[in-house]
Amino acid sequence: MLGALAALILTSKGWPNVRETFFDWNAFKDAFPDVLDGFWLDIKIFMVVEIAVLALGLVVALVRSSGAPALFPFRLLAASYTDVFRGLPVILVVYLIGFGIPALELSGVPSDPVVLGGVALALCYAAYVAEVYRAGIESIHPGQTSAALSLGLTSAQSTRHVVLPQAVRRVIPPLLNDFIALQKDVALVSILGPLEAFRVAHIEASSTFNYTPLLAAAVLYLAVTVPLTRVVDHVTARDRLLRSAGAPV
């Protein structure tokens, strides 16, 4: 099938034009250094946002998993947060925060598009990660908590030392999947103006009317997402093996 598809493309009437427009080696070499410089900004944003997402998502998940009556208003707020930010397209949130916050002209509020874009990404992905965490927490049998309390641990200590370590290990594969998606969606920050990889490639393509620079950006994104995907596959296979062997995971 792949051979037939390749033959169909390579023998098509428009292939010479496509090859010149999308697969020009000279254009690739000329654009790659600039696109790579922009890609480092993607990596920096991704790393900072990832830390923020892990922390915020865990806090929201713990609030939603709590059964204390006094925390009902916070549970309601956390549920509303996850419903709203999981229901909105990420690009819409980037637009609203990236252009809406500076328009308010609030003193002391950052107006840097990189910061605002990172905030938008963190808010959206923390909502998804919070539900992943919550699924892991609720998958732990209540007897684990009861056993910890019977040993003299407080409720907070049982959550910290007994429930969370097991829950986090169980949800590592879906967490990694979310971070693969986050790494790609960092490109959405480009709509606010920062010169990250996609925007640099788009500028190069617009100036030369050749879309090969976009291919250079695609190669860089694949260089990160493909290894992450293999890590997810390895972790998932290891988790499946441990469960089938009856070992604690």
| Range list of H helices, 139-196 | 142-150, 155-158, 164-170, 172-185
pTM, full prediction: 0.85
Rounded CA separation 234/237 (Å): 5
Per-domain residue ranges of the chain: 39-194
- CATH for 39-194? 1.10.3720.10
Cβ proximity of 171 and 158 under 8 Å: no
Per-residue pLDDT of the chain (249 residues; tens, 9 = 90+): 888 888 888 888 888 888 888 888 888 988 899 999 989 999 999 999 999 999 999 999 999 888 778 888 999 999 999 999 999 999 999 999 999 988 888 888 888 899 999 999 999 999 999 999 999 888 888 888 888 888 888 888 888 888 888 888 888 888 888 888 898 899 899 888 888 888 999 898 888 888 999 999 999 999 888 888 888 788 778 877 877 776 555
Cβ proximity of 173 and 236 under 8 Å: yes
Cβ proximity of 235 and 175 under 8 Å: no
To which residue do tokens 């293999």 refer? 230
Q: How far is CA 34 from CA 113, 214, 225, in A?
A: 20, 12, 20
pLDDT of residue 117: 93
Rounded CA separation 249/171 (Å): 11
* Residue 246 Rama label (left phi>0; alpha psi -120 to 50; beta): left
Rounded CA separation 27/20 (Å): 10
pLDDT of residue 247: 54
